């Protein structure tokens, strides 16, 4: 019971006595009034006295019960404990404390009669009735609190754990975290600049990293001209993380002829040893580079946190590297009994085009049996599949169920245009195949396929078709037909939006190579044609869009055929309007799932947004699926996530 209620008892007594005295005044005016007032006054006085007596008995009974619970221990013994002890009544009110509790926890104020809530934080009293202590932080001190239950009372024992907790915190704060910093676009300043200017840029980046290390009391060492290793204390990493790694912005301020320097950073945090932190930091750096660079990847508790990644990435791809991968892929294919080619679910032109290109080389140049697993019913590239069958590839495409029957111990699975096991066309085929190759260009996600014999990942490539075009040019392209070259070109055109977005020198080289191999641009253009109804739907989506702070958001009505394709086209169209830097089109996939197609010119990283909602993609093109009831919920989730990422400094 609240102490404030009982602290009013003396006031009630005074008022009751005054009422009795005042009743005698009214006897001069009205005897009946005097009798009524006098009776009421006596009743009030009696009530206050009786309730006060009951409360005293209540307190004595609870204390007696608490003492009886401790067997032969009395209150004097409880009082002599050096640590705080409190007895709590059934109504969460404090009914007794020892002097240690009064002096230390309540700071000299008598706490009897008040609620225990102040001294147990957000916990419930019954939480303390367990064998394990509960840790609390009270008055700048740490306590382990034990509780015992006896009849209607609870006894809490507060053991001061401050000394050991401080040691624990000091140990954790001084744990070593390893960081690898890579000047990831150093080649940009080597191409168009003389050696002296290049040296100045390298020196400026190095000095910035050295200063960053010095400001955070970190150990610094230079591994190579563009690679540095730093060792931080955990307390420093915590502050740097809260500051959202401003080092990325500082490095970007180093410019030459309009080009900004960028670095990628991988950090291993929270490990038990330097060696473990070193290994985690190397993997984190690979993850940062796999997502396009110019960002920080922090490995902590076997999970990743990402910061930065606002730039479109640097085209720094080596043909030597591609040739090496192509040779390894060729050797692996030659050792296989047969090959299954499979992309992501709801396949598109890039996915199917890359599969057709690889199928041509495997079956014609390497004389190996191959199959393309594709669910034609859900594919967004049905026009290309139909055209492929008309051009002699009618036996190339099989269903996932048919693909399972083709697998043996020597089967090789090549996954194209995705590196996430949950996105592939058939999880059953992936699980059954013992040999896997991954060829993908999307920015690396945490849950990537990690059991691949060959993981050929180029996040700066425009498309999977661009990567496959380069691969087959090294493996063997003597039998590549004009239609097959056109299928590869269609995939490149899809992902670059007709060579507007995410194109590099290698993209145009691949397009020229495919044109040389007979790709017909008119036939490719026909693959993008749609019916008049789809055009009306796309126009309706565009017209109904709303713009919120340069972000266009629109919805597709339910029941639209090929809604994924239409939504993607509408999202592309929305970017053509002035004042729109990114677009999101929300559409229903089925009764339980809503999809979002996202596009951007790079000012807002849509991949970060979609990844936060369970999807993925690129800086300029991404998507996700949400298991929600309607599109309005999906829109609210989208807006909330964008606000959250901006508040954290992850989005600008």
**DSSP character string of 455-468:** EEE-TTSS-HHHHH
pTM for the predicted model, two decimal places: 0.67
- 61-70, 370-379, 404-413: segment of lowest average pLDDT: 61-70
What's phi and psi for 227, nearest 5 deg? -130, 135
In terms of C-beta density within 10 A (0-12 exposed, 13-18 middle, 19 or more buried), how is residue 446 classed? middle
What pLDDT band is residue 208 in, cutting at 50, 70 and 90? very high
Neighbours of 477 (CB within 10 A): 21
Count H helices and E strands in the chain, helices first: 24, 25
- Predicted local distance difference test score (pLDDT) of residue 349: 93
* Tokens found for residue 263: 């670095």
526-541 average pLDDT score? 83
Phi and psi torsions of 523, nearest 5°: -65, -35
Could you tell me where the beta strands, DSSP code E, fall in 172-238?
176-183, 219-224, 227-233
* The pLDDT of residue 365: 93
Determine the pLDDT at residue 15.
66
Averaged pLDDT for residues 112-122? 85
Residue-wise pLDDT tens digits, 336-350: 999 999 999 889 999
Give the residue-averaged pLDDT of 59-86.
62
pLDDT in tens, 497-523: 888 877 888 899 999 999 999 999 898
Strand-strand pairing, 134-138 and 141-150: antiparallel
Helix axes 482-496, 349-360, angle to 10 degrees: 150
Instruction: Look at residue 285 and tell me whether its pLDDT is greater than 70.
Output: yes
Instruction: Find the mean pLDDT for residues 346-367.
Output: 94
pLDDT at 260: 87
The mean of the pLDDT values for the chain is 85
Banded model confidence at residue 113, pLDDT cuts 50, 70, 90: confident
Average pLDDT over every residue of 317-329: 84
Q: What is the pLDDT of residue 371?
A: 97
Cα dist. 235→122, 169, 172, 238, 279 in Å?
27, 10, 8, 5, 20
Residues 83 and 100 sit within 8 Å (Cβ to Cβ): yes
Q: Write the burial class of residue 81 (CB in 10 Å: 0-12 exposed, 13-18 middle, 19+ buried).
A: middle
Q: Which of the four pLDDT bands, split at 50, 70 and 90, describes residue 417?
A: very high
> For residue 1, what pLDDT is reported?
45
| C-alpha span between 644 and 651 (Å, rounded) | 9
Over 80: is that where the pLDDT of 397 sits? yes
């Amino acid at each position: 019971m609240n102490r404030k209620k009982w602290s009013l008892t003396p006031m009630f007594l005074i008022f009751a006595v005054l009422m009795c005295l005042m009743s005698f005044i009214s006897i001069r005016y009205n005897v009946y009034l005097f009798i009524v007032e006098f009776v009421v006054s006596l009743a009030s006085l009696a009530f206050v006295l009786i309730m006060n007596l009951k409360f005293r008995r209540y307190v004595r009974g609870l204390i007696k019960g608490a003492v009886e619970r401790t067997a032969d221990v009395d209150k004097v013994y409880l009082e002599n404990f050096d640590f705080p002890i409190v007895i709590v009544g059934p109504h969460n009110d404090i009914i007794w404390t020892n002097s240690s509790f009064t002096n230390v926890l309540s700071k000299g104020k008598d706490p009897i009669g008040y609620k225990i809530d102040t001294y147990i934080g957000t916990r419930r009293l019954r939480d303390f009735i367990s064998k394990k202590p509960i840790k609390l932080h009270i008055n700048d001190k740490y306590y382990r609190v034990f509780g015992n239950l006896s009849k209607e009372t609870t006894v809490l024992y507060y053991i001061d754990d401050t000394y050991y907790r401080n040691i624990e915190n000091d140990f954790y704060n001084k744990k070593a975290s390893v960081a690898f910093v890579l000047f990831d676009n150093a080649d940009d300043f080597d191409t168009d600049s003389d050696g002296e200017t290049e040296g100045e840029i390298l020196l400026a980046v190095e000095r910035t990293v050295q200063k960053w290390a010095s400001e955070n009391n970190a150990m610094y060492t230079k591994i190579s001209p563009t690679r540095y290793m730093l060792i931080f204390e955990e307390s420093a990493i915590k502050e740097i993380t809260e500051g959202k790694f401003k080092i990325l912005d500082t490095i970007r301020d180093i410019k030459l002829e309009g080009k900004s320097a960028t670095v990628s950073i991988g950090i291993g945090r929270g490990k038990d040893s330097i060696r473990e932190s070193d290994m985690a930091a190397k993997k984190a750096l690979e993850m940062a580079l796999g997502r396009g660079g110019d960002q920080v990847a922090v490995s902590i508790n076997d999970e990743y946190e990402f910061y930065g990644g606002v730039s479109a990435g640097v085209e720094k791809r080596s043909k030597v590297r591609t040739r090496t991968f192509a040779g390894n892929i060729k050797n692996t294919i030659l050792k296989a009994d047969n090959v299954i080619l499979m992309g992501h679910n709801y396949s598109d032109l890039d996915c199917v085009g890359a599969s057709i290109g690889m199928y041509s080389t495997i079956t014609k140049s390497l004389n190996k049996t191959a199959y393309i697993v594709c669910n034609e019913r859900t594919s967004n590239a049905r026009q290309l599949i139909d055209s492929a069958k008309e051009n002699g590839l009618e036996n190339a495409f099989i269903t996932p169920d048919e693909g399972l029957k083709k697998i043996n111990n020597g089967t090789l699975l090549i996954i194209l245009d995705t590196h996430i096991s949950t996105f592939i066309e058939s999880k059953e085929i992936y699980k059954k195949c013992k040999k896997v190759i991954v060829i993908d260009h999307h920015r690396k996600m945490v849950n990537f396929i990690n059991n691949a014999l060959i993981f050929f990942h180029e996040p700066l490539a425009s498309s999977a078709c661009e990567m496959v075009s380069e691969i087959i040019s090294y493996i063997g392209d003597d039998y590549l037909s004009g239609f097959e070259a056109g299928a590869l070109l269609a995939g490149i055109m899809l992902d670059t939006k007709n060579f507007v977005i995410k194109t590099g020198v290698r993209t145009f080289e691949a397009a020229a190579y495919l044109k040389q191999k007979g790709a017909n641009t008119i036939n490719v253009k026909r693959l993008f044609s749609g019916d008049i109804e789809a055009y009306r739907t796309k126009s309706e989506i565009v017209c109904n869009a709303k713009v919120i702070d340069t972000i266009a958001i629109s919805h597709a009505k339910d029941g639209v055929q090929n809604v994924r394709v239409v939504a993607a086209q509408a999202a592309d169209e929305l970017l053509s309007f002035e004042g729109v830097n990114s677009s999101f089109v929300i559409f229903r996939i089925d009764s339980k799932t809503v999809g979002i197609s996202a596009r951007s010119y790079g000012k807002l990283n849509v991949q970060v947004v979609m990844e936060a909602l369970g999807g993925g993609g690129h800086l300029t093109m991404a998507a996700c699926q949400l298991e929600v009831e309607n599109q309005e919920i999906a829109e609210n989730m989208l807006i909330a996530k964008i606000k959250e990422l901006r508040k954290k400094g992850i989005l600008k």
